[in-house]
Amino acid sequence: MRDPLPPRPALSLVIPIFNEEETIPELARRLEAFLATVGETWEVVFVDDGSKDRSLDLLRGLTAREHRFKLVGLARNFGHQIAITAGLDVADGDAVVVMDADLQDPPEVVTEMLARFREGYDVVFAIRSKRHGETVFKRVTAGVFYRLFNMMLGFEVPNDAGDFRLMSRKVVLTLRSLRERHRFVRGMVAWIGFRQTRVSYERPVRFAGETKYPLSKMVRFAIDGITSFSTVPMRTATWLAGATASLAVVIAGWAMLQNLRGEPVVRGWTTIMMLVALCASAQLLMMGILGEYVGRIYDEVKRRPLYTVQERINLDEPSREMAEPTSRTGPH
């Protein structure tokens, strides 16, 4: 049976948009200039993340004059990571690139990413070698965050990688099967695996308007990132239990020594201190045990696939979970 749908484009760009009316006209100009030279079939999927300004109208205008410009308009502001997900759910390209609307992720870097993709890589992260126009505070906090984050995980999320990255169709299809609610997409992509590589670029300043990531959203984002990939914070109770139990032993030892030296401590002090430390450690230990179970429940409810597969040889295509949600199938 012939596929009734039009052929898939070679390249999809996914661009989340939240109140970007000032940048959209320039973004469209830069995209068109770039895509005219890319030498591949393409589509651009704009995701309007519930903008309150004229962004949605501007995007509608763009899609009216160019059918390869596509639009998903979310019904309210769901946040950057969900907006990206909505775009990835419909992006059809053999290679899919996620980029910001504010031209901080220059389209020209995509050429380099495509070259890597053609060499056989499935994920190409764009690493910010320099961040222009970002406050020292943002740079330092981002640096500390990624280092901490990588320490807690069993796999590596590249430092200084944002959401600007290319993914092969295989990776996008796999990512679609991860439906957890608190989404830290860059971590999820690193978790998926496949052949991953990086290109670096200097991150320019935002073209116009203000960052849509105020400090409060950044903190939320960092917490989402850590809690969706690590149960280390929950385990701190167990470690603290160990620390307080050791404290009880130290106190007892010290009191005994004082007694032997003939400088006894106030009567009853040792007993009280030891009981306090022991009770605290018993409680913390129980919390840690609870934490372990809660952590396991959390892992289960995420319902992530147990593993991801890069290739299958002499085997049929896989289970339903890994397959595309739409009926369209084809080589990928």
Interface with Mg ion (CB under 5 A): 100, 102, 104, 206
- Among Mg ion, ligand UDP, none, what does residue 207 contact (CB within 5–8 Å per kind)? none
Task: Considering the complex, state which of residue 162 and residue 225 has its C-beta at the smaller distance from Mg ion.
Answer: 162
Q: Minimum Å distance from CB 211 to Mg ion? A: 6
Minimal distance in Å, beta carbon 105 to Mg ion? 8
Please, which residue, 133 or 233, has the CB nearer to Mg ion?
A: 133
Q: With CB cut-offs between 5 and 8 Å by kind, which of ligand UDP, Mg ion, none does residue 34 bind?
A: none
The whole-angstrom distance between residue 30's C-alpha and the CA centroid of its chain comes to: 26
- Return the structure tokens found at 299: 């892992």
Q: Which residues of 234-269 are buried (b: 16+ CB within 10 A; e: fewer)?
A: beebbebbeebbebbeebbeebeeeeeeeeeeeeee
CB 122 within 8 A of CB 167: yes
Judged by the rule CB under 6 A, the positions of this chain that interact with ligand UDP are 16-18, 20, 49, 77, 79-80, 83, 100-102, 104, 206, 211-213
Nearer to ligand UDP, 211 or 258 (CB): 211
Binding partner of 101, given ligand UDP, Mg ion, none, CB within 5-8 angstroms per partner class? ligand UDP
Residue 119 Cβ, how far from ligand UDP at the closest point, in Å? 28
- Considering the complex, what minimum distance in angstroms separates the CB of residue 80 from ligand UDP? 4
Minimum CB distance to Mg ion, residue 68 (Å):
24
